[in-house]
Amino acid sequence: MDVRVRGDLSEVFDVQHFRENSETAVAILHKHLSDQSIRGLELVDPAVLTRAARALMTDESERIADFDEGRLAGILELYVRTGIAVHSPGSMGRQFSGVVPLGGVVDFVSSVVNQPSAFYEAGQLPNVAERIMAEELNRFIGWAPGSFDMVTTSGGSLANLTALLAARNRAFPDFWEQGGPGATAAGRPAVAVGEDVHYSVARAAGVLGIGEAQLVRLPLDRERRICPRRAERALAEAEERGLRVFCVVASAGSTPVGAFDPLDELADLAHRRGAWLHVDGAHGASLLVSDRLRPKLRGIEKADSLTWDAHKMMFVPAPCTLLFYRDRAHGAAAFRQHASYVFDEEPDPYTALDSGDRTLECTKRPMIMALWVLWSLYGRALFARKIERLCRTTALAHRILLEQPDFEVLHRPEANILCFRHHPAGPAGRAPADPREVHRLQVAIRDRIKHEGTFFLSKVDIDGVAALRMVLMNHQTTSEHVRLLLQAIRRAAQDVQADPGGPR
């Protein structure tokens, strides 16, 4: 074990020490990325992991501890080993992306130089890069150059909250200063959402003081997309109940099944009723960069705002969310505050790039840098080809499942999310027929698969009954991996039936 004395602050900040630490980390990550075995999630008992973590902590409390390279390596190895193996073809459970490795390098540089990017003076290149990427990506959205706005936020939930805040302030200009109105002449403030809307939108309604009771649920069609015809009736009924729907939220790649709502029709419907259309494209907006897949977002140019998570299908480190506004004035109206210690009284060419007045975050990471560097070096094709490959593999998985008599496919995948159920008895006598038993079986299968550690699957309730959910985020996942997963599911079901009270 390499033990060196580090007696003061100068030693802790020593650049040679930094180089050695970095080499230790790179060696561990190189080994991690080189492992292409099929791995899922290695769940460790929290008490066991806590003991392991504490064992790696120094006991020294009175002075700066002697540096221990072995201790550092142990910490980093434990960190890497206990996370989801997002780079493994067996990881099919969630929208967590294995990053393009160079993106991680750029994020490492961002961490060391530590340039908060909410203000130009603190992070000059990140603010310029943010403006450049807004212009690059708007080529696929289609808004008039110079008329729109984009700001980065730490995650899609925060972007959805901010967009709803801007929509609320447009509809109720006095809300920010005077507080939430009750029943106004136009009705109580309300937001209309699809049944499969992400939970962050309902959470935003509570945070903004609108209340979940004022969420108008719009019916879905058979493909779990908002049905415009039935939505129009639901909006009319909401108005009769004294609600003023000031924002309609559509999904471009819903979290449960990856459905794309009909944006073109919903934009027309929302605008006829004087409402704002916000598109939660956290997952699916990235399809815009593909010529082949872009039509799934037809009508996006009519939206008033768009949430786009680059850390999902653009494969950069999280978080990196882009919040777009069709009208740049609306972004500026989301927050209405003055603070002399950050906001300059006289705008100039430098402060014009500040985003601190348009986001909840005063200090935020320069999250755009990884995306901009990859785009600068590789161009659009890197992202388009990987996304297209994931969608092709998911379509192939759909065809494979349709051929299996003991599996029920619940929808045709629109992107890279596919939901299905396993019925061991097959179609002749699908047992257990009781929906509660079907639900329990799918959950038990998912738990067995997760604890086995070879594959990682998620689950989602569809029409109140659990389903297994496959999310393909790794371009190295093939049809053979899908077939191996189905075999693992069958074995898990047999184990559950043989030992219903077994480990979960």
Give the CATH number of the domain where residue 326 resides: 3.40.640.10
Instruction: Count structural domains, the chain.
Output: 3
- Do 387 and 307 fall into the same domain? no
Give dist(CA 394, CA 416) in Å, integer.
5
- Do 153 and 283 fall into the same domain? yes
- Do 264 and 346 fall into the same domain? yes
Give dist(CA 292, CA 469) in Å, integer.
25
- Do 263 and 386 fall into the same domain? no
- Do 331 and 223 fall into the same domain? yes
pLDDT, averaged across the chain: 89
- Do 200 and 343 fall into the same domain? yes
Q: Do the domain assignments include residue 110?
A: no
Find the helix or strand (DSSP H, E) in which 190 lies: strand 188-194
Among 328, 334, 308, 329, smallest CA distance to 319 is for 308
Length of the chain, please?
Answer: 504
Per the rule left: phi > 0, alpha: psi between -120 and 50, beta: everything else, 208 is alpha
Q: Do the domain assignments include residue 336?
A: yes
Q: Do the domain assignments include residue 472?
A: yes
Q: What is the DSSP string of 223-288?
A: TSSB-HHHHHHHHHHHHHTTEEEEEEEEEBS-TTT--B--HHHHHHHHHHTT-EEEEE-TTTGGGG
* 3-state DSSP of 359-385: CCCCCCCCCHHHHHHHHHHHCHHHHHH
Output the six-digit token pair for 395: 């379509």
Supply the pLDDT for residue 350. Answer: 66
Q: Do the domain assignments include residue 22?
A: yes
- Residue range of the domain that includes 440: 381-498
Strand-strand pairing, 276-280 and 305-309:
parallel
Supply the pLDDT for residue 428. Answer: 44
- Do 77 and 153 fall into the same domain? no
Supply the pLDDT for residue 355. Answer: 66
Find the helix or strand (DSSP H, E) in which 19 lies: helix 15-34
- Do 77 and 158 fall into the same domain? no
Distant-in-sequence contacts of 432-437, Cβ < 8 A, 24+ apart: 435/464, 435/465
Supply the pLDDT for residue 181. Answer: 59
- Do 429 and 334 fall into the same domain? no
Supply the pLDDT for residue 343. Answer: 52
pTM equals 0.91
Q: Do the domain assignments include residue 129?
A: no
- Do 245 and 346 fall into the same domain? yes
Q: Do the domain assignments include residue 111?
A: no
Residues in the chain with pLDDT values less than 50: 1, 3-6, 339-342, 428-430
Which residue is it, tokens 């080809």? 385
Supply the pLDDT for residue 97. Answer: 85
Tell me the three state secondary structure of residue 215. strand
Supply the pLDDT for residue 6. Answer: 47
Supply the pLDDT for residue 281. Answer: 97
Please name the amino acid found at residue 361.
E
Find the helix or strand (DSSP H, E) in which 102 lies: helix 101-113
Contacts of 164 (CB under 8 A, 6+ apart): 191, 201, 204, 205, 208, 247, 249, 278
Supply the pLDDT for residue 429. Answer: 44
Please name the amino acid found at residue 236.
A
Given a contact cutoff of 8 angstroms between Cβ atoms, the answer to whether 445 and 489 are in contact is: yes
- Do 182 and 317 fall into the same domain? yes
Give dist(CA 99, CA 94) in Å, integer.
14
Q: Do the domain assignments include residue 117?
A: no
Supply the pLDDT for residue 179. Answer: 73
Phi, psi of 247, deg, nearest 5: -150, 135
Give dist(CA 171, CA 275) in Å, integer.
8
Give dist(CA 240, CA 190) in Å, integer.
13
Please name the amino acid found at residue 219.
P
Give dist(CA 171, CA 189) in Å, integer.
9
- Convert the pLDDT of each residue in 36-66 to its tens digit: 898 888 888 999 999 999 999 999 888 889 8
Give dist(CA 366, CA 118) in Å, integer.
8
- Convert the pLDDT of each residue in 431-484 to its tens digit: 557 899 999 999 999 999 988 888 999 999 999 999 999 999 999 999 999 999
Q: Do the domain assignments include residue 147?
A: yes
- Do 180 and 55 fall into the same domain? no
Among 3, 164, 156, 143, smallest CA distance to 72 is for 3
pLDDT > 90 in the chain, percent: 68
